[in-house]
Amino acid sequence: MKAISIKEPGGPEVLRWTDVEDPRPAAGEVIVDVVAGAVNRADVAQRMGLYPVPQGASPYPGLEVSGRIGAVGDGVTGWQPGDEVCALLTGGGYAQKVAVPAAQLMRVPKGVGLVQAAALPEATSTVWSNVFMAGALKAGETFLMHGGAGGIGTTAIQIAKARGARVVTTVGGPEQAARVRELGADLAINYRTEDFTEHGPYDVILDVIGGDYLSRNIGSLGTDGRLVVIGLQNGLTAELNLAELVFKRISLHGTALRSRPAEQKAAIVAEVQEHVWPLIESGAVRLVVDRTLPMDQAAEAHRILDAHHIGKILLVNPDAVQRYNGNARP
């Protein structure tokens, strides 16, 4: 098969579409013949040498795919070759085939095409596990999503709104502000010209930025507020006023989905299908796909991720491009 390998840490140009060995299913795993995968910030960090591959994981980037089961390993029940699925991965999604623990498979929601389903596993699992499981966001509370125009942001805005929260988000410009308001954001703050701290207090904040946002996030949370940090784009260190943390009874969570134990991922996947899939199937939550590209153009997809985009960027297996024609449903 072919996969995107990383020749060495560096820019998008280090991504190479090369021949590699086919994966084989271990006990409890299936092989997914990949139709499409999605691009995430973690893939960029891995490419740059800033996100070590977890022990035992595929060396190829890619944390979510959609496709059809091609083979089933020992001990797998409830799935069979030919089933259409999307899946949460620990790596290996930028490839024509990938081995996946069966517990991390997800059925494709009704009304969603197989190509578009690749946009779902990582974003929905990240949002559900961090905003609702860790952050315990409730109806009537105010939720702040940093980076609302990205794949995580566009998903978080819609799920939080559908579950009755007031949603505030930061964006980089007027076009992004208009799009996130269409998705349900009550307030879109241009971080280039406005200060999000002036629009608090917030009950839950999901931070994909890190660095010096820490003290500002803590300062803008209300009493019993919850801050969940999942990204480090602005740096790895920051100062923190512990008095605010203590006297406002603030809960601070730092999490990463990729490195979680398999049993935790399985629990998250199960909850996502129980709570989020009905919102997608009813139309309350829509997939937001910026564009699709052939998988062998992963370097261009990474350049786009670092520039202007809204929603997810998908990589389609070149063998599937003609059949599925980009965004067209299979």
Residues of 137-147 as b/e, b for ≥16 C-beta within 10 angstroms?
beeebbbbbbb
Q: Cα(33)–Cα(96) distance, rounded to whole angstroms?
A: 6
pLDDT of residue 327: 43
pLDDT of residue 326: 44
* Structure token digits, residue 136: 């315990």
Instruction: Please report where in the chains the tokens 């891995």 appear, as a residue.
Output: 46
pLDDT of residue 13: 96
CB 298 within 8 A of CB 4: yes
Domains in the chain and their CATH numbers? 2-120+287-324 (3.90.180.10), 124-254 (3.40.50.720)
Burial of 151 from C-beta contacts in 10 A (0-12 / 13-18 / 19+)? buried
Nearest CA among 36, 42, 32, 31 for reference residue 6: 42
pLDDT of residue 85: 98
- Beta-strand runs (E) in the chain: 2-6, 15-19, 29-38, 64-72, 84-88, 97-101, 105-107, 142-145, 166-171, 187-190, 202-207, 221-229, 251-254, 289-294, 312-316
Handedness of CA 41, 227, 290, 189 (dihedral sign): negative
pLDDT in tens, 193-250: 999 999 999 999 999 988 889 999 999 999 999 999 998 776 677 788 888 889 999 9
Burial of 14 from C-beta contacts in 10 A (0-12 / 13-18 / 19+)? middle
> Bridge partners of 188?
169
State residue 107 phi and psi, 5-degree precision. Answer: -70, 155
The pTM for the full model equals 0.93
What's the length of the chain? 330
State residue 268 phi and psi, 5-degree precision. Answer: -65, -45
Query: Which stretches of the chain score pLDDT less than 50?
Result: 325-330
Cα 165 from chain centroid (whole Å): 20
Residue 8, number of CB atoms within 10 A of its CB: 7
Return the axis-axis angle of helices 151-162 and 174-182, rounded to nearest 10°. 40
